């Protein structure tokens, strides 16, 4: 049972990390709905590491692909180096809130709904502006993803589309912005918890979670690219709105 749950943790993290549906929100909601414990500290870190490995492999395989042929290399460097700062500042300043109060369903439900709105904004109107202004605005928009239930990839892709980027470049922006965020958030959690006596689980269990996360994260990446070719992100927006409404209804029924 322990190994099955570890595979499940990797599945949830991997599938939801790069799709415009909140990984943290799904982890909390599924844990409450299925009555199992949410991922522990070390499992959470290891599954995020799995997502990072999958992303690194994706970029390695795509290095000669036109998908990574981003026209503005300075823009790519800015995305990787600075896009994490706004959400990092928000996360540190309001760490206690996001780890406690924000993880309640009465916050997560509206967060899913807001995430759905962010994803579909570009369908109403698009704005054309300087690429460096786009980086700044998307970086600040990513701060909303500190709320469990608001998808980081959904916010970044939605706002990138809103500001005139094409679909595949918007997805690339989101992928690039996830690299420093996953690395630095993991380092921050490890450092801040070193003095707390965190118990590391069975290494076999952690390895199973890592493999599961790598596999399903890569599937999520590939699905995201394939999905973008034949349909609209409005479907993800509708999904988030639906999940948010279901959560809110569950609180009043």
Whole-number pLDDT of residue 70:
58
What's the domain count of the chain?
1
Q: At what angle do helices 234-252 and 23-34 cross, to 10 degrees?
A: 40
Domain residues for 97?
2-252
Whole-number pLDDT of residue 72:
63
> What is the CA 251 to chain-centroid distance, rounded?
25
- Residue that is written with structure tokens 């599954």 in the block: 47
**Exposed, middle or buried by CB within 10 Å (0-12, 13-18, 19+), for 188?**
middle
CA distances from 15 to 101, 199, 231 (A): 25, 27, 18
Cα 27 from Cα 43, distance rounded (Å): 12
Question: What's the half-sphere exposure (Cβ side, CA atoms, 13 Å) at 58?
Answer: 26
From first to last of the 253 residues of the chain, give the pLDDT tens digit.
Answer: 677 888 888 898 888 888 888 888 888 888 888 887 766 666 777 888 888 899 888 887 776 555 555 556 677 777 778 888 998 899 888 888 887 888 899 999 999 999 999 888 877 777 777 777 888 888 899 999 889 899 988 899 888 888 887 787 788 888 888 888 888 877 777 776 665 555 555 677 778 888 999 999 999 888 887 776 656 778 888 999 999 999 999 998 7
**Nearest to residue 73, comparing CAs of 129, 131, 18?**
131
Cα 186 from Cα 42, distance rounded (Å): 10
**pLDDT tens digits for range 159-200:** 888 888 778 778 888 888 888 888 887 777 777 666 555 555
Q: Are 20 and 236 in contact (CB under 8 A)?
A: yes
CA distances from 86 to 99, 135, 208, 230 (A): 18, 12, 33, 33
């Amino acid at each position: 049972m322990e190994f099955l749950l570890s595979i499940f943790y990797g599945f949830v993290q991997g599938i939801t990390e790069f799709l415009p549906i909140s990984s943290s929100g799904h982890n909390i909601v599924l844990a409450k709905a299925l009555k199992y414990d949410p991922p522990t500290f070390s499992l959470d870190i290891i599954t995020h590491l799995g997502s990072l490995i999958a992303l690194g492999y994706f970029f390695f395989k795509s290095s000669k692909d036109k998908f990574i042929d981003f026209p503005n290399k300075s823009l790519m460097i800015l995305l990787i180096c600075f896009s994490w700062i706004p959400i990092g500042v928000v996360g540190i300043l309001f760490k206690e809130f996001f780890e406690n109060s924000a993880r309640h369903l009465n916050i997560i439900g509206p967060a899913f709904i807001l995430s759905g709105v962010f994803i579909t904004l570009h369908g109403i109107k698009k704005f054309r502006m300087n690429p460096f202004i786009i980086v700044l605005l998307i970086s600040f928009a990513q701060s909303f993803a500190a709320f469990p239930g608001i998808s980081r990839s959904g916010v970044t892709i939605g706002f990138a589309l809103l500001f005139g980027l094409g679909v595949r470049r918007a997805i690339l922006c989101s992928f690039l912005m996830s690299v420093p965020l996953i690395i630095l958030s993991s380092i921050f959690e490890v450092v801040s918890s070193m003095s707390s006596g965190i118990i590391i689980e069975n290494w076999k269990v952690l390895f199973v979670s890592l493999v599961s996360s790598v596999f399903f994260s890569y599937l999520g990446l590939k699905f995201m690219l394939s999905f973008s070719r034949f349909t609209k992100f409005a479907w993800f927006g509708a999904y988030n709105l639906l999940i948010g409404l279901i959560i809110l209804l569950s609180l009043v029924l």
